[in-house]
A and B are shown apart, each in its own frame.
Chain A
Amino acid sequence: DIQMTQSPSSLSASVGDRVTITCRASQRIGNSLAWYQQKPGKAPKLLLYDASRLESGVPSRFSGSGSGTDYTLTISSLQPEDFATYYCQQYYSSPPITFGQGTRLEIK
């Protein structure tokens, strides 16, 4: 099974900050990576797929990069609505589909 490890597990930042979240896969996943945003009490929302492709309707301040086993999600200028928990997920090989453990982004 492919294990996904996110870092950091939590992060405090201010509105306007640039933040980066990292996701590492236990083996190469060929850019088959998605990022999700989840707010309390809500379902996850797909932000990016194929590591760097923005899902329709997602603001351009969200971007993704990476290759091989290491991937990053960057928010260029944090907005109040961006404070949430973020998950990565690999879809290179299934089963199983695997998620990272999540990164909680909090207001400083």
Chain B
Amino acid sequence: EVQLVESGGGLVKPGGSLRLSCVASGFTFSTYSMNWVRQAPGKGLEWVSSISSSSTYIFYADSVKGRFTISRDNAKNSLYLQMNSLRAEDTAVYYCARVPDIVVVPAAMGRKRYYYNYGMDVWGQGTTVTVSS
């Protein structure tokens, strides 16, 4: 069975740190890009961070850049999110989700265009992070 299982959530004080984990099973983890997506209480979905299959391409939402670090260990079929300097507004359910690997093509002015060819087709059950004093 294709599955993603998150762990590591909990209650943390503002300014604190937490490390989330997501363990994959039932598919070849090393061939997929992975994402963290969060959902604050009563709110919509917010993309947090992405990492390509071999960790070559890593992206963050502006709201977490400089505070969160995404990583993966393909040997352990695991995805991680190190969250530092946590704020009340980081309170949310955090989901990991897989997507077929990112595509990178040349673009104008020597830049690169990054895109996906699919939606996020497998999601974990989520882990809750609460930042409160």
The answer to whether A97 touches B123, judged by C-beta atoms less than 8 angstroms apart, is: no
- State the interface size on chain B (CB cutoff 8 A): 28
Main secondary structure of the interface of A (DSSP, over half): loop
The answer to whether A95 touches B123, judged by C-beta atoms less than 8 angstroms apart, is: no
CB distance from A101 to the nearest CB of B (A): 5
Interface size class of A (residues with CB under 8 A): 20 to 34
Within the assembled complex, what's the spacing in Å between the Cα atoms of A55 and B119?
9
Within the assembled complex, what's the spacing in Å between the Cα atoms of A68 and B125?
33
The answer to whether B116 touches A46, judged by C-beta atoms less than 8 angstroms apart, is: no
The answer to whether A94 touches B95, judged by C-beta atoms less than 8 angstroms apart, is: no
Of listed B37, B119, B123, residue having the most chain A CB within 10 A: B119
The answer to the question of B120 belonging to the interface, with a C-beta cut-off of 8 Å to chain A, is yes
Q: Annotate A46-64 by CB proximity to B: 1 below 8 A, 0 otherwise.
A: 1011100001000000000
Within the assembled complex, what's the spacing in Å between the Cα atoms of A93 and B99?
14
The answer to whether B59 touches A89, judged by C-beta atoms less than 8 angstroms apart, is: no
| A-to-B contact residues, CB < 8 Å | 32, 34-36, 38, 42-46, 48-50, 55, 87, 89, 91-102
| B-to-A contact residues, CB < 8 Å | 35, 37, 44-47, 50, 59-62, 95, 97, 99, 102, 113-121, 123-126
